[in-house]
Structure 1
Amino acid sequence: MGLTCKRRVLTGLLGAAVASGLTTLILFLVEATDVLLPADSKFGIVFDAGSSHTSVFVYRWPADKENDTGVVSQASACQVKGPGISSYASNPTEAGESLQGCLEEALALIPEARRPETPMFLGATAGMRLLSRKNSSQAEDIFAVVSRVLGQSPVDFRGAELLAGQDEGALGWITINYVLGMLVKSSRAPVIRHPCYHSGYRGSLAPAPLYESPCVHIAAPPDLTRNLTVEGTGNPWACVAALRRLFNFSSCVGRAHCAFNGVYQPPVQGRFYAFSNFYYTFHFLNLTSRQPLAAVNATIWEFCRRPWKLVEASFPGQDHWLRDYCASGLYILTLLLEGFGFSEETWPDLEFRKQAGGTDIGWTLGYMLNLTNMIPAEAPALWRAESYRVWVAGVVFVVLTLVTILGAAAVQLFWPQD
């Protein structure tokens, strides 16, 4: 007895469903390939405890790294409210409390699962170097409080340390080349007449953060201050003379390619970036737009010649660093022109920058790049995946399978018996 019409239709639909289903299974199993999913991110936190303020940077890099070094990018930056931690010498507890706000902001960016393995480091620079020389016990108290506060956070705290000037410079060099794709003593003293400062400057005031300027730490030679009436921000001629003595340019007389102190230096060539206090000083003086050397020189000397009362009136609310800009400006000019040999021709190759490639320029990124070498890489997850065309074909056959099954069910339920 032959099959009825209903039975033939139902058999055809079920056969089509089975064939479509098997085709889908073959596509998804046989044609699948191994793929590596994008690596998860790792994080690091670095506190830059400078003389004027503390900045907190969060960095991230793919967990699988590249050539054993993380491809690090800046995830966030936060400036701590208040002065640098060295300013809390009389109350170290406040130094630790001041860091809490930016620490919480940094932690908010890091997934909880990643926090225990996230390294965190605080490096203190100029301000704490000076405090360590002036009063080492006060500096130790500040480091102890800061370490206790940061050590209580849910990350891998690597310590709070005094960063050597050579390390700060080397790590800054790493940072700028990476982002560009290249790889004192102080005491209570009477009012002194110093050639780099106005006549009301006291020797006990905090110095400028730019290294150890002679206009801050080194008393002017007697022949420069004897019978000298200081006006305005200071005596720029005498200040430059003091700077030249510090750099010891006399040891380079008659010697080609000499920087200072008799140190060899090849002629200046290529691109150069000046950052940190070099940038902040020139930014205050509106000299970061690549002005010609003549304009830079004229601006600095004009500022240094202004009467101090006029300077204070022209820049209200900037008393803390205002006294240092003349000294820092002259220091920078003397160092770059007479020390490193920049000239009218090479000055355009020098840029004063705070950021490059969207990243703050300083030692912190260089530190994190170096630290990633000691953090194990994670292998990316291995998954099975289909090519786009195979995936589309698979979806089509899945739909056909469902349609034929639904059709078979409809025939079974609603087709009358023959």
Structure 2
Amino acid sequence: MDKLLKFVVSAALFLFGIVSILLLTVSIREMREPPQYMYGVVLDAGSSHTALYIYRWPADKLNGTGVVTQHSECHVEGGGISSYAGQRGAAAHSLEACLKQAMRDIPPERHHRTPVYLGATAGMRLLKMTNPDKASQILQEVKQKIRSFPFNFRGAVILSGQEEGVYGWVTVNYLLENFIKYGYVGRWLNSGRKTVGALDLGGASTQISFETPETVENELNSMTLRLYGQEYSLYTHSYLCYGREEALRQMLAYLVESQGNTSKVYHPCYPSDFTDVFKLEQVFDSPCTASKRPEPYNPHSWISVEGTGDYQSCLGNTSNIFSFQFCPFSQCSFNGVFQPNISGGFMAFSAYFFTHSFLQQSTGINIRTSAQLEEATQAVCNMTIEEMTKKAPDLKKYLKDYCAVAVYIQVLMLRGYNFDEHSFQNVAFQKKAAEASVGWALGYILSVSSLLPEEPAGIRKGLCPAAWIGLLILLTVLLTATFCYMALLVIRRKRSNEGVS
């Protein structure tokens, strides 16, 4: 009987073992692990300041382009890198604090895989025109500084105006989910929406970019992009010297020239209770105003500026920094630049947003139409500095320029770009969208992320559920039988010992 029991148990254990081994040979499935994140850093070296943006996206990409979100941002103290021309090492040193912040914001194990790009815009474009050696020195210094950090430095370049405009357009439409959207099925899908145009007003240049069904007569204004498996053909143009700061400088230079006085000038765009003094070099030491230098010219001479707060005179004088007469194409915006008809919606950001926000805050007018823009602008131009300060005390250092900038935007949009009462209502003035800053940097990282290699997704081997359950049951039975058998042997041995004694 004992021999039979031992044989049955041994045979059962042997059979269970064989079946378990056979179950392990059942066809298995490959299970994809959730992808890790890749990070990218873009330094937006603008004419007036530098900002560092950190982006991240899944390591396995969608149709060749990363699905990117903004992780964090850091604003560099001081002016733009072009403002440090002639100050050895100063531009590079200004970036240190934000680069250290990037090291804290990005996981240490991803530092060596994180690409870093620096893109300089119109401020450096102007410096390169006037002093290429100083521009090159600044770029070399910032390159050396970024390389001293444990990131994957990919380069520091001066972007063309067209690139700046197009990358801004990419940012706007990505944040509005006009390329892709997150569907109810739990994955990203092509949205099928129409794109919107982008209006960017920086310190030294302004850009306009939009899709158009019309023929672009000047190939310099045409660009094609491929994003998320689709191609987009755009019209884009960047107007150097027509950013906020350079436009203000052009207005002042025109007033000095037209009034013929290098000691005192009356400024119709400044509030009537405002006076200030400038050195001539602050007005004329720019490629944008050099042609209007008075003769004789002493850059260190002082000029007094007195505001008159005259909206109509401001409008007329501001219009004179544009040229609307010459056009070598079928139609133009200004300065002989081809532009097709405005179509679709637009997002206006950077200085557009801040000026629009101030106009609404100071006048109480909800600006939705071009007529309301003109009404609010005229109301601000009729205010004194004292009145403005009461309405916006936190903006005191900018108050003197708001009338001038608002009139400039009015002329630029309504006469330059030809927005009418209907198309102006399709313009949204925004600083952020989807919790991310609007500008060219996100569009840039989206474009270059298509050039970055994907990381292979982690693969695990997995049994199908039926085989797994069967194996689990057999192993459970095997362990239970083994335990019972061992317990039986112990009990029998005890009884045997008792019988002997």
TM-score by length of 2: 0.67
Deviations 1:184-230 (A, max 9, x none): 6879x7554344445526366979xxxx9x9x99969xxxxxxxx96
Which residue does the alignment assign to 2:455? 378
Deviations 1:324-361 (A, max 9, x none): 33222222222222233323333332111122233322
Which residue does the alignment assign to 1:344? 421
Which residue does the alignment assign to 1:357? 434
Q: CA deviation at 1:120?
A: 1.1
2:166 maps to which of 163, 170, 173: 170
Contact (CA 8 Å) 1:14, 1:404: kept in 2 or not?
no
Question: Kindly tell me: are residues 146 and 258 of structure 1, through their superposed partners in 2, closer, same or farther at Cα, counting changes over 3 Å?
Answer: closer
Which residue does the alignment assign to 1:3? 2
RMSD (Å), alpha carbons: 3.9
Which residue does the alignment assign to 2:319? 244
Q: CA deviation at 1:278?
A: 1.4
User: 2 CA distance for matches of 1:271 and 1:366?
Assistant: 18
2:67 maps to which of 48, 53, 71: 71
How many residues get paired? 398
**Partner letter of residue 68 of structure 1?**
G
Give the % identical residues. 33
Question: Kindly tell me: are residues 230 and 298 of structure 1, through their superposed partners in 2, closer, same or farther at Cα, counting changes over 3 Å?
Answer: farther
User: 1 CA distance for matches of 2:431 and 2:282?
Assistant: 23
Which residue does the alignment assign to 2:266? 193
User: 2 CA distance for matches of 1:16 and 1:303?
Assistant: 95
Q: CA deviation at 1:270?
A: 2.1
Question: Kindly tell me: are residues 392 and 53 of structure 1, through their superposed partners in 2, closer, same or farther at Cα, counting changes over 3 Å?
Answer: farther
Matched position secondary structure for 1:323? helix
2:357 maps to which of 266, 272, 283: 283
User: 2 CA distance for matches of 1:204 and 1:417?
Assistant: 115
Deviations 1:111-131 (A, max 9, x none): 444333422111122443444
Q: CA deviation at 1:15?
A: 5.5
Q: CA deviation at 1:152?
A: 0.9
Q: CA deviation at 1:48?
A: 0.7
User: 2 CA distance for matches of 1:107 and 1:134?
Assistant: 35
Could you say which structure has the higher strand fraction?
2
- Residue 292 (1) aligns with residue 368 (2): yes
Contact (CA 8 Å) 2:74, 2:98: kept in 1 or not?
yes
**Partner letter of residue 319 of structure 2?**
R
Q: CA deviation at 1:247?
A: 3.5
Q: CA deviation at 1:145?
A: 2.9
TM-score by length of 1: 0.78
Deviations 1:65-115 (A, max 9, x none): 333333332222222233333343464534323322221221234344433
Higher relative contact order (CA 8 A, sep 6+): 1
Q: CA deviation at 1:176?
A: 1.6
- Residue 82 (1) aligns with residue 78 (2): yes
1:97 maps to which of 69, 93, 96: 93
Question: Kindly tell me: are residues 34 and 400 of structure 1, through their superposed partners in 2, closer, same or farther at Cα, counting changes over 3 Å?
Answer: same
User: 2 CA distance for matches of 1:66 and 1:322?
Assistant: 46
Answer with 375-384 or 395-404: which moved more: 395-404
Matched position secondary structure for 1:30? coil
User: 2 CA distance for matches of 1:332 and 1:383?
Assistant: 58
User: 1 CA distance for matches of 2:169 and 2:365?
Assistant: 22
Contact (CA 8 Å) 1:24, 1:397: kept in 2 or not?
yes
Answer with 148-157 or 382-391: which moved more: 382-391
Deviations 1:145-203 (A, max 9, x none): 3222112111222333332222211111122223333346879x755434444552636
Question: Kindly tell me: are residues 44 and 329 of structure 1, through their superposed partners in 2, closer, same or farther at Cα, counting changes over 3 Å?
Answer: same
Q: How does 1:16-415 map to 2 (within 5 A)?
A: 20=16, 22-89=18-85, 91-133=87-129, 136-183=132-179, 192-197=265-270, 199-200=275-276, 202=278, 231=307, 234-251=309-326, 259-261=333-335, 265-286=339-360, 291-293=367-369, 294-311=371-388, 315-316=392-393, 318-388=395-465, 390-415=467-492
User: 1 CA distance for matches of 2:265 and 2:7?
Assistant: 108
Question: Kindly tell me: are residues 50 and 258 of structure 1, through their superposed partners in 2, closer, same or farther at Cα, counting changes over 3 Å?
Answer: closer
**Partner letter of residue 276 of structure 1?**
S
Question: Kindly tell me: are residues 83 and 317 of structure 1, through their superposed partners in 2, closer, same or farther at Cα, counting changes over 3 Å?
Answer: farther
Unpaired runs of at least 5, structure 2: 180-240, 254-261, 294-304, 497-501
Q: CA deviation at 1:395?
A: 4.0
